């Protein structure tokens, strides 16, 4: 069984287990992601990100990594920042041995309940992604739906890549899903409003230097509105690939959306990077384009 990081809390949760940890003594949140991702309204705001999208994303990952050609029960997967388990559950349904890691006790509890409902084995770990301590354990590590770039310091983002590298077995795959900053700069919607169930969601977005910040105001049909913020550092293709190579990853390909279409730097909404922990490092190319 993989070794789970020793800090914050540990959840070895499998479908069918009735018990779950007591979160009453948890410390007050100090970062935007600790507060927002642990709030019940988070899942309502992002309810449009559904299981169909997750299924398409997982299908693309397995196809492009060729892991879909191997026996599922022989492969282990780590989902970093797994949230409520959309992608982790899709992988578990296919027979992979899946660990979902997240900092939010609330979202992990939602993942546990979903796994129980579907009678799926799902191991869960509650830990800051900078403190993950797995070593040479997984065949695939995924980090999806803009779950990278949360921290104030670039060194912390580099540390996350280091943790992902060490968690992989040699020849294992790491798939990192980011916003494409060039597409965002050309298509940013500064202000928008939408309805999610009975909630009115107002979102204000600001690009400043290397970060995109979104202020989310949630207005219920009754009672007071609440406001949360998200702030993510944006990385160019050149910068993030250099960071990955610094850790020892070999770049394989980049796709521009969850369907696996070719990445076009000026047009693709996503920048989903496929790389491997390889003994032999080589200069990678995508469609004839060198990634160095």
Name the least confident of 14-18, 56-60, 79-83, 221-225.
Answer: 14-18
Q: For 101-111, what is the mean pLDDT?
A: 96
Residues with Cβ within 8 Å of residue 241, at least 6 apart in sequence: 251, 273, 291, 292
The rounded Cα 282 to chain-centroid distance in angstroms is: 26
Rounded Cα distance, 284 and 203, in Å: 38
32, pLDDT greater than 70:
yes
Q: Decide: residue 219, CB within 10 A, 0-12 exposed, 13-18 middle, 19+ buried.
A: middle
Q: Which fold has domain 9-179+235-290?
A: Rossmann fold (3.40.50)
- The architecture in CATH of the region 184-231 reads Single Sheet (2.20)
Q: For 16-32, what is the mean pLDDT?
A: 48
33, pLDDT greater than 60:
yes
- Closest of 148, 168, 132 to residue 250, by C-alpha: 168
Position 27 scores a pLDDT of 52
Rounded Cα distance, 216 and 205, in Å: 9
280, pLDDT greater than 90:
no
Q: For 203-215, what is the mean pLDDT?
A: 96
10, pLDDT greater than 80:
no
Q: For 212-239, what is the mean pLDDT?
A: 95
Instruction: Give the pLDDT band of residue 49 (cuts 50, 70, 90).
Output: confident
Interval 248-267: pLDDT, tens: 999 999 999 999 999 999 99
233, pLDDT greater than 60:
yes
The 3 state secondary structure assigned to the chain is CCCCCCCCEEECCCCCCCCCCCCCCCCCCCCHHHHHHCCCHHHHHCCCCCHHHHHHHHHHHHHHHCHHHCCHHHCEEEEECCCCCHHHHHHHHCCCEEEEEECCHHHHHHHHHHHHHCCCCCEEEECCHHHCCCCCCEEEEEECCCCCCCCCCHHHHHHHHHHHHHHEEEEEEEEEEEECHHHHHHHCCCEEEEEECCEEEEEEEEEECCEEEEEEEEECCCCCCEEEEEEEECCCHHHHHHHHHHHCEEEEEEECCCCCCECCCCCCCEEEEEEEECCCCCCCEECCEECC
Instruction: Give the pLDDT band of residue 16 (cuts 50, 70, 90).
Output: very low
Same CATH topology for 9-179+235-290 and 184-231: the answer is no
End-to-end Cα separation, the chain, in angstroms: 36
161, pLDDT greater than 90:
yes
Record the pTM.
Answer: 0.86
292, pLDDT greater than 90:
no
Rounded Cα distance, 217 and 205, in Å: 12
Task: Tell me phi and psi for residue 78, to 5 degrees.
Answer: -115, 125
Angle among Cα 143, 149, 152 to the nearest 5 degrees reads 145
Share of the chain above pLDDT 70, in %: 86
Q: For 208-226, what is the mean pLDDT?
A: 94
Instruction: Locate the domains of the chain by residue range.
Output: 9-179+235-290, 184-231
160, pLDDT greater than 80:
yes
Position 223 scores a pLDDT of 87
């Amino acid at each position: 069984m993989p070794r789970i990081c020793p800090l914050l809390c540990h959840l070895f949760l499998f479908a069918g287990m009735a018990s779950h940890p007591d979160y009453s003594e948890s410390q007050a949140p100090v970062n935007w992601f600790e507060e927002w991702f642990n709030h019940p309204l988070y899942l309502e705001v992002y309810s449009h990100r559904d299981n169909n999208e997750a299924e398409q994303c997982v299908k693309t990952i397995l196809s492009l990594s060729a892991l879909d050609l191997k026996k599922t029960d022989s492969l282990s997967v780590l989902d970093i920042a797994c949230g409520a388990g959309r992608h982790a559950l899709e992988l578990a349904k296919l027979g992979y041995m899946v660990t979902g890691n997240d900092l939010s006790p609330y979202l992990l509890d939602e993942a546990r309940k979903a796994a129980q409902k579907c009678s799926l084995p799902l191991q869960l770990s509650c830990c800051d992604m900078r403190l993950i301590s797995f070593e040479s354990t997984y065949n695939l590590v995924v980090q999806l739906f803009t779950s990278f770039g949360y921290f104030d310091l670039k060194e912390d983002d580099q540390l996350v890549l280091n943790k992902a590298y060490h968690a992989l077995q040699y020849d294992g795959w790491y798939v990192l899903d980011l916003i494409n900053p060039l597409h965002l700069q050309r298509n940013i919607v500064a202000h928008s409003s939408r309805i999610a169930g009975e909630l009115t969601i107002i979102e204000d977005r600001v690009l400043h230097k290397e970060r995109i910040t979104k202020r989310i105001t949630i207005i219920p049909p009754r009672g007071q509105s609440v406001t949360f913020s998200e702030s993510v550092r944006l990385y160019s293709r050149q910068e993030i690939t250099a960071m990955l190579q610094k850790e020892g990853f070999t770049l394989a390909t980049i796709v521009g959306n969850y369907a696996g279409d070719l990445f076009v730097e000026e047009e693709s909404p996503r920048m989903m990077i496929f790389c491997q922990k390889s003994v032999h490092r080589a200069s990678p190319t995508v469609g004839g384009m060198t990634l160095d």
